[in-house]
Structures are given as structure tokens and as C-alpha cells.
């Protein structure tokens, strides 16, 4: 009873047992039928070829799903912005990110030199702002089970600060770099590249002044308090791996499918050769898997 209670309570153990039972029933029953009709070696080859071929087709379909986000299939992690650090005060002096600090003894490479300002309303800034807000404020009470933030949030709500500037650097994905010359290759709207280049975004915020709204007057926009320190949120774009798991699984299935099909083809050629030459086994038995005379 204790074992049954543990299996019922532990979702990970229960899920593993369900998977093992499903494989034993579905795959095992097919292997058993093939074994009784074709023999052990030929039955295993046919079962492996069929299963690997099915997995290959499924992974091809999963790879063709829009953005790798289809309703079914084995998917990897989503893309998003990862917080690298939250710095108070001078960013270049207190940062630990090489892209912000720049080259040693070369102030011209320090932030914001070489960084592109992001104006208000820029789509890149709009996509990175939610991640910065989540890092600057504590998680909601409903997300009590969420992991603790890496950096202590300096504010309690998003109304306590205003954005005073944003910059971006990197993110230019090119095919190869030959002696400093970057080669780009694009097919229609799709850019072809080997490796993603690091893409950074820095959003700087400052505590807001207390808002005062006079009776009958329009509400004023929040303004930054110049007497308070500036907080800089350094973020790095994580491109995710949505299509990587189905690609690896499909590639492995392709290898197994090719090996098993080649073995089956070699066996068929050997049977055809023996039939053409009139050869037979010493006892008169035919190769395994070939129908025996009544």
C-alpha cells in the first residue's frame, strides 16, 4: 500500500511508469507479433525501421510548424531577454559585462560608445521593457512559487520609476567573418547564418517625482527625480531552442532508419542471390523470414 501511495502521489514517478507501460504495450506488442511471424532478428529490424521512420516523419512535421510552436511535438525553450545585471550609478564603472566595459585601457569602447540609442516607441524597446520591469519590481503575490530573482528589485511598483534612456548593441547575425569583412546571406526575408551574435539592450531608469494633480487640470506625465541615482538594467537576448530538440531527435531517427533499412535491403539481396544461384542452407532450410513450404 505504501508503494502504491508513493506511485499515486509522485507525479514524476507516475509519469515515468506511464511512459514505460505505454512503450511496453504498444512497441512490445508489435515486436512480439513480428517475432512470432518473422523471427527475432528480422522482427527487431522491421520494428526499428518502422518506429524510426515514424519518428522521422513526425519531427519533419514538427520542424515545419509555425515558429516551431505547433500544437504538438517536442519543443525546446522559448526566446526572451535574460537579465545580466542591475547597476546603480555609473554603469561603465560598475558593470561586469564585457560589452559594456569595453576594451581595457580604451575609454572609447566603454558604454555608451558604440551603442545605438532606442527612441520611445521602438519595437525592440517594447519587447525588452517587460523583462526590465519584471527585474526592477518584485514578483506578484500569485507567483509565490516562482524562483527568487537573481538581483534584488530596487522598486516595488512600476509607477515608482521612469525610463530615462535605452541603448542596444550587437545582434547582427552574419554568415562568416573574413578578415573583418562580414558576409551576409539572405533568402527572401530569411537571413542565413551559422551562429547568433550577442544582442544586448540597456534600459536606464530613475525614481519618479511625486505626481500632483490639481483639481480640473489634466494629469501630468511622471518625471524623473534628478537628485536620485540611475539604475541600469543590462539584458542579453536568448534566442531559445524551439527547433533544436525535434531536429536532434529527427536526425537520430534518420540514422537508425538508414541503418535498419540498409540491413533489410542487404538481406533481400542475399535472398535474391541465393534463389538465382540455387544455393540453400546445408539442412535445406531457407533464410529466416522466408516462407517455408508446407
Number of domains in the chain: 2
- Residue 44, pLDDT score: 87
Residue 37 and residue 69 in one domain: yes
Q: Is 201 among the domain residues? A: yes
Answer whether residue 292 is part of any domain. Answer: no
Across the chain, what does the average pLDDT equal?
83
The percentage of residues in the chain with a pLDDT greater than 70, rounded to a whole number, is: 83
Collect all residues with Cβ–Cβ distance below 8 Å to 265 and sequence separation of at least 6: none
Tell whether 229 is covered by a domain. Answer: yes
Residues 113 and 197 in one domain: yes
In a domain, 145, yes or no: no
205-216 burial, b at 16+ Cβ within 10 Å, e below that, comes to bbbbeeeeeeee
In a domain, 59, yes or no: yes
Q: Within this chain, do residues 98 and 189 fall inside the same structural domain, yes or no?
A: yes
228-234 mean pLDDT:
94
pLDDT at 10 over 50: yes
- The pLDDT, as a whole number, for residue 100 is 92
The per-residue pLDDT for 292 is 52
Residue 26 and residue 99 in one domain: no
DSSP state, 179?
A: T
Question: pTM for this one?
Answer: 0.71
Looking at the fold, whether 234 and 268 belong to one and the same domain comes out as no
- Find the mean pLDDT for residues 122-133: 93
pLDDT band at 68 (very low <50, low <70, confident <90, very high): very low
Question: 43 and 86 share a domain?
Answer: no
Cell numbers found for residue 83: 537579465
Do 175 and 271 fall into the same domain? no
pLDDT in tens, 193-206: 777 889 999 999 99
Q: For residues 69 and 86, state if they share a domain.
A: no
Residue 294 lies in a domain: no
Residue with cell 527612441: 119
Do 67 and 94 lie in one domain? The reply is no
pLDDT at 290 over 70: no
Whether residue 70 is predicted with pLDDT greater than 60 in this model: the reply is no
> Are residues 52 and 132 both part of a single domain?
no
Q: What is the mean pLDDT of residues 83-109?
A: 89
Same-domain status, 198 and 94 = yes
Judge whether 282 lies within some domain.
no
Rounded Cα distance between 28 and 47, Å, is: 10
- Contacts (Cβ under 8 Å, ≥6 apart) of 281: 287
* 290 within domain boundaries: no
pLDDT digit string, tens, across residues 251-268:
999 999 999 999 999 999
Tens of pLDDT along 205-225?
Answer: 999 988 766 666 666 678 888
**pLDDT value, residue 43:** 87
Identify the band that residue 8 occupies on the pLDDT scale cut at 50, 70 and 90: low
Which of these ranges, 58-72, 92-106, 218-232, has the smallest mean pLDDT? 58-72
| pLDDT: which is higher, 125 or 63 | 125
Domain that holds residue 61: 2-74+244-277
192 lies in the same domain as 175: yes
pLDDT of residue 5: 63
H or E, element range at 231? strand 231-238
Q: How many CB atoms lie under 10 A from the CB of residue 284? A: 7
Amino acid at each position: 500500500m505504501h508503494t502504491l501511495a508513493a506511485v499515486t502521489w509522485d507525479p514524476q514517478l507516475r509519469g515515468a511508469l506511464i511512459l514505460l507501460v505505454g512503450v511496453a504495450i504498444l512497441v512490445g506488442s508489435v515486436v512480439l507479433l513480428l517475432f512470432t511471424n518473422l523471427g527475432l532478428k528480422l522482427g527487431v529490424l522491421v520494428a526499428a525501421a518502422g518506429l524510426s521512420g515514424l519518428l522521422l516523419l513526425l519531427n519533419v512535421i514538427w520542424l515545419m510548424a509555425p515558429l516551431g510552436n505547433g500544437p504538438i511535438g517536442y519543443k525546446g525553450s522559448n526566446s526572451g531577454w535574460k537579465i545580466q545585471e542591475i547597476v546603480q550609478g555609473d554603469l561603465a564603472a560598475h558593470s561586469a559585462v564585457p560589452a559594456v566595459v569595453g576594451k581595457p585601457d580604451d575609454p572609447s569602447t566603454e558604454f555608451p560608445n558604440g551603442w545605438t540609442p532606442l527612441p520611445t516607441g521602438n519595437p525592440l524597446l517594447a519587447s525588452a521593457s517587460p523583462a526590465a520591469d519584471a527585474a526592477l519590481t518584485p514578483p506578484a503575490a500569485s507567483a509565490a512559487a516562482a524562483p527568487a530573482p537573481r538581483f534584488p528589485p530596487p522598486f516595488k511598483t512600476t509607477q515608482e520609476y521612469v525610463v530615462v534612456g535605452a541603448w542596444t548593441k550587437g545582434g547582427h547575425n552574419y554568415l562568416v567573418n573574413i578578415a573583418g569583412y562580414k558576409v551576409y546571406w539572405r533568402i527572401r526575408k530569411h537571413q542565413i547564418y551559422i551562429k547568433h551574435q550577442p544582442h544586448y539592450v540597456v534600459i536606464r531608469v530613475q525614481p519618479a517625482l511625486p505626481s500632483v494633480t490639481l483639481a480640473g487640470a489634466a494629469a501630468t506625465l511622471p518625471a524623473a527625480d534628478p537628485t536620485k541615482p540611475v539604475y541600469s538594467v543590462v539584458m542579453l537576448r536568448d534566442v531559445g531552442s524551439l527547433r533544436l530538440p525535434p531536429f536532434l531527435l529527427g536526425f537520430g531517427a534518420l540514422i537508425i532508419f538508414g541503418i535498419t533499412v540498409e540491413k533489410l535491403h542487404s538481406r533481400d539481396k542475399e535472398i535474391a542471390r541465393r534463389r538465382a544461384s540455387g544455393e540453400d542452407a546445408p539442412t535445406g532450410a531457407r533464410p529466416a523470414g522466408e516462407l517455408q513450404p508446407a
